[in-house]
Amino acid sequence: MQPSLLKPSSADLESKSFSQKIVVWYRNHGRKDLPWQRSSGEDKPYHVWLSEIMLQQTQVIKVKDYFNRFISELPTLKQLAAADEQKVLSLWSGLGYYNRARNLRKAAQICVKEHQGQLPEDLNTLMALPGIGRSTAAAIMSLAFDQPEPIMDGNVKRVFARHFLVAGEPNKSSTLKQFWQLAEQHREQVRPAFYTQGLMDLGAMVCTKHQPQCEKCPINETCQAKAQDVIADFPEKKRRVVQQEINLYCLLHVVQGQIAVELRTDKGIWPQLWFIPSFDNKQDLFKVASDAKHHFSLTHKLTHRILQLHVYFSEEIDSKKRHNWIKPAELKHKPHPKALEHIITQYQNQHSI
């Protein structure tokens, strides 16, 4: 008697259909000309890793220029590991979330010390490196090493939430658990890199947050949100974060076209970045510059905070502090928050530097 052949389950068949349709769609319509996609050889994992870290809180269109500038200065992982922290932060200036850059450098140094100067080709070992979580590690495994590891970013969550009708806030632990279960179930074994990039591109280009183009979606026939006409309800809206408003009193010293800046401490906002002297209250500002006069104020928004920057002009300078005098054009060589550029631009609109 011959042994009976095991029939694939309906879940297996659906999974195969789901992933293969996305692979085919990616081949025909996906993005293939992003700077980090042009990499090859031993530097490809480093370039993929760098792009994934940059993309965590930033849109692709903005990341392109930052990626190209970073790679032109530090083209290899070993060069990143050997770079001075201020150099790395200066290349990151404007991207925000500066701990991402600090962790990149720390992780690169560990790779040089423990992994022969390369990113390890193992999910758990990657996750042990500073700043690399499960999804970033999986993206490296998939896009750099072509291994079938599922990822989970905002675009993927949106596709899964709509297609499989997953209720709950996307970042809630119970919702994330469902997303990861679906991701595991729908692994792509044959072309994992195409599938991973295809899922992200599908969310970014077709299954968008607003006005999704369902007619162009390769999996629209099995999309539960489309079938029930509830696409706008998925994924569930995140609860609005109450932003804290903070007043910061800043001193602007300008002498012969140069601006006085100082290196901030490693505590508070913008740790270890260059900024003009700033204080939590006016009293402290007047202690170091009694002649200070209010020049203008502007609003600068961070993720969880709204900064009201009150800029004062003064000819007095605190001799007890070490300042650097720089021209605005030289600012790109020093790591600094975007707020400093806004202050300088506002000043330049009223004066000439």
Instruction: Band the pLDDT of 16: cuts 50, 70, 90.
Output: low
From 14, 42, 52, 221, active-site residue? 52
pLDDT of residue 315: 84
Among 233, 267, 300, identify where a domain stops. Answer: 233
Residue by residue, DSSP assigns 313-350 as E-S---TTS--EEE-GGGGGGS---HHHHHHHHHHHHH
Among 171, 202, 233, identify where a domain stops. Answer: 233
pLDDT of residue 52: 98
pLDDT of residue 320: 61
Q: Whole-number mean pLDDT of the chain?
A: 92
Return the higher-pLDDT residue of 336 and 322: 336
Determine contact, residues 84/90, Cβ cutoff 8 Å: no
Shared domain check, 206 and 184: yes
Shared domain check, 110 and 42: yes
Instruction: Band the pLDDT of 7: cuts 50, 70, 90.
Output: very low
Shared domain check, 249 and 229: no
> What CATH number did the domain enclosing 261 receive?
3.90.79.10
Residue 5 included in any domain = no
Across the range 81-107, mean pLDDT stands at 96
Quote the percentage of the chain above a pLDDT of 90. 84
Among 180, 204, 233, identify where a domain stops. Answer: 233
> What is the per-residue pLDDT across 221-265, written as a single tens digit (0 to 9) for each?
999 999 999 999 999 998 877 889 999 999 999 999 999 999 999
> What is the per-residue pLDDT across 139-171, written as a single tens digit (0 to 9) for each?
999 999 999 999 999 999 999 999 999 999 999
DSSP lists the bridge partners of residue 230 as: none
Residue by residue, DSSP assigns 219-269 as TGGG-HHHHTT-GGG-SPPPPPPPPEEEEEEEEE-EETTEEEEEE--SSSS
> What is the per-residue pLDDT across 269-290, written as a single tens digit (0 to 9) for each?
999 999 999 999 999 999 999 9
Strands (E), the chain: 244-252, 254-255, 258-263, 274-275, 278-279, 293-301, 305-313, 324-326
Instruction: Band the pLDDT of 338: cuts 50, 70, 90.
Output: very high
pLDDT of residue 25: 97
Quote the percentage of the chain above a pLDDT of 70. 94
Active site residue 52: yes
Shared domain check, 269 and 142: no
Shared domain check, 200 and 98: yes
SS3 category, 293: strand
- Give dist(CA 326, CA 257) in Å, integer: 8
Say if residue 12's pLDDT is above 50: no
Q: Which pTM value belongs to this model?
A: 0.86
pLDDT of residue 2: 33
Instruction: Band the pLDDT of 343: cuts 50, 70, 90.
Output: very high
At residue 145, φ and ψ (nearest 5 deg) are -110, 0
Shared domain check, 141 and 73: yes
Across the range 313-325, mean pLDDT stands at 78
Identity of residue 342: H
At residue 326, φ and ψ (nearest 5 deg) are -135, 155
DSSP lists the bridge partners of residue 251 as: 312
Structural domain that includes position 337 = 244-350
Shared domain check, 142 and 286: no
Cβ-count burial 185-199 (b if 16+ within 10 Å, e if not)? ebebeebbbbbbbbb
DSSP lists the bridge partners of residue 308 as: 247, 299
Shared domain check, 251 and 218: no
DSSP lists the bridge partners of residue 255 as: 258
SS3 category, 15: helix
Shared domain check, 275 and 211: no
Residue 116 included in any domain = yes
